[in-house]
Amino acid sequence: MASIAEWLGHFKNSSSPTAYWDYYDENGQAIVRVYRYDDNNGKRYLPFDIKKSDFGAPKIRPLYNISGILKSDKVILVEGEKCAEALIEKGITATTAMSGANAPIEKTDWTPLKGKHVIIWPDNDEPGKRYAENAAKKLLDLGVASLAVLEIPQDKPEKWDAADCVKEGISIEEFLASTPLLTIDTPSTDIPNTSNMKSLERSTKQPLNILDWSVSRYLGSVPIQRFLVEGLFPLGVTSIVAAMGDTGKGMLLLDLALKVASDADQICGFGSLVTEHGSVVIFSAEDDAGEIHRRLDRLDPGSKRAEYQNRLFIIPIPNTGEPFSIVKSNMRGKCPETSDKFEDICRQLDKVKDLKLIVFDPLVSFVHANINSDPEMGYYAMGLLANLANETGAAVIVAHHMRKPKCSEPITTVEQARDAIRGTTALVDGVRCSFALWPASKEHQNTVFNTLKVSKVNNAVYQGAIVKSNGATDRNIRTYLRSSTGLLEDISEEFKLGKLSDEYLKKILMQAIAVSAEEGHPFTHTGGPGVFQQRHRLPAAFHGVSRHRLERLAQELLNERKIVKGMATNSKEDKWLDIKTGSFAKGEGKFKLGAGRFEIGNF
């Protein structure tokens, strides 16, 4: 092995490096920088150990792009940093061992790939073949969820690699979807020998082999638990959101979907920060396309969802004419079985790029079996959903119903809420996280109304909490207040402080202004049609707000350009309040007959 002096001797007469790549650990700390030099003798690489501040590779070498690996369940292993970066720039999680085809397999820490779905993309040459072979053996021993090797098309030249594929302008997604992949079931000494391989089907269902699951799978770096919503809904597992009828869980899940599909971290209606973003698929069995459209418009009056329309898919089952079941009873033996339609749905879901959230609303509509009294059906259904979550890496959330508490007493504890979730204990026991929402007791409602100086309104105050979680989480009971859009919003902090904050009031004031303008009954800033004189048309939270404060909040929204002054059709008077994308803002607003009151829970 060459000494550091010999290494430096190779490069002392070289020009500046043509490229370099940094390797990081799971905490984002730089470990190694690899320099590439190109001269008359070809390409050479020089690693610099950042922690030791010296040239040379560390004793145990990290994989490239650790942060990306930790965030994804599907990883492509390529040969060299150049190829990895080419794929990463296309939004695909890729990695490489340091030194590529020359990587010493036993000196590389492969543990970040444990439990992942890995595709090896070798260079089209003999060294690439050996690299794929050696890496495959190591990964099988390590324990990956699935392992496959990309078959390079025969028309590609020698040494052709992933970077060349990108350079040729080929769609990587289409290339991966159309190019044969060989799954590896057992260690092989000859990658092209297909005697122990089969064509890759995205399912990883294989016969259980106890010996494959030794404790060696649970050594090395501990996988980081990632959450779709901070501290609430984990990725890669199934969760339940349970509530009684007319609570608004469907609106909460739609709001969550909008914020997951967007690019910005935002607080969702559940009260926590959405930190993961990507594609969302919702299966809605109760609401048709028209109702979903109306709800989306209330949640997103500015239609920002158009910016990520290719990442949000909402399937209204009443409009498709194709209701489907996850599980059904086998009438011959009354045993549970998976429906063919659900298996087809799973195959389609696996093709959705960067899938982060799957919603089934409500669960009972997708299980054609008695899950309320038959534990076997409940466990089977939740097991199928758990497998779907694991396969896709997405958070699977099912909406479910709660029954009224026993003895007609209001729910006041987490334990009572958990007990009120309908069905056998198999449903709650079969998921990693259960979140329940229930009507606040009359006493708590009155306390909220009095503390926040809000007019008393029915169906407006709820409480919610995590009632089951397999990990450490916040189990505090939160308080929710229905907004003008019909969405429940976490007001726990405002309730503790004893008043609604200006930021909260501005948010619901903007929503109210947008809804009122859309309905043809816009407000002005001041005067007769002004927000203060017409505060009876605003959510009840504003009924006790002073003129000075209410008009100041409207002025701040105008200053922040969150609302604007617009005009009606055929008018030259620029005074009607609307959001920037509303009809009055565009000078196209039309007035309509009627009082224009808010009917959404009067909030």
The residues facing 273 across adjacent strands are 267
Q: What pLDDT score was predicted for residue 36? A: 82
Domain 61-187 has CATH 3.40.1360.10: yes
Distance of CA 575 to the CA centre of its chain: 41
Question: pLDDT tens across 309-330, in order?
Answer: 899 999 999 988 777 888 776 5
Q: What pLDDT score was predicted for residue 190? A: 43
Closest CA to 292 of 234, 283, 403, 513: 283
What is the spatial distance between Cα 98 and Cα 107, in angstroms, rounded to a whole number?
10
Q: What pLDDT score was predicted for residue 423? A: 66
Q: What pLDDT score was predicted for residue 50? A: 79
Closest CA to 285 of 397, 364, 368: 364
Residue with structure tokens 């990695």? 95
Q: Where are the alpha helices (DSSP H) in 269-406?
A: 289-299, 317-320, 340-349, 375-392
Q: What pLDDT score was predicted for residue 329? A: 66
Asked if residue 388 lies in contact with residue 349, where contact means CB atoms within 8 angstroms, the answer is yes
Question: pLDDT tens across 444-462, in order?
Answer: 898 888 888 777 888 899 9
HSE toward the beta carbon, residue 401, CA cutoff 13 A? 12
Q: Who's near 247: CB < 8 A, 6+ residues apart?
A: 437, 438, 439, 462, 488
Coil, helix or strand at residue 247: coil
Closest CA to 422 of 398, 399, 403: 403
Residues of the chain with pLDDT below 50 are 1-8, 10-14, 186-205, 333, 595-603
C-alpha distances out from residue 570 to 85, 520, 564, 587, 591, Å: 56, 15, 18, 8, 12
What is the spatial distance between Cα 327 and Cα 330, in angstroms, rounded to a whole number?
9
Tokens of 501: 């904050």
pTM of the model: 0.57
Outline where DSSP puts E strands in 51-210: 54-55, 74-78, 94-96, 117-120, 146-150, 181-184, 197-199
Q: Which CATH number fits domain 227-498: 3.40.50.300, 3.60.9.10, 2.130.10.10, 3.30.70.1400?
A: 3.40.50.300
What is the spatial distance between Cα 529 and Cα 549, in angstroms, rounded to a whole number?
17
Supply angle C-alpha 492, 240, 74, rounded to 5.
Answer: 110
Asked if residue 47 lies in contact with residue 4, where contact means CB atoms within 8 angstroms, the answer is no
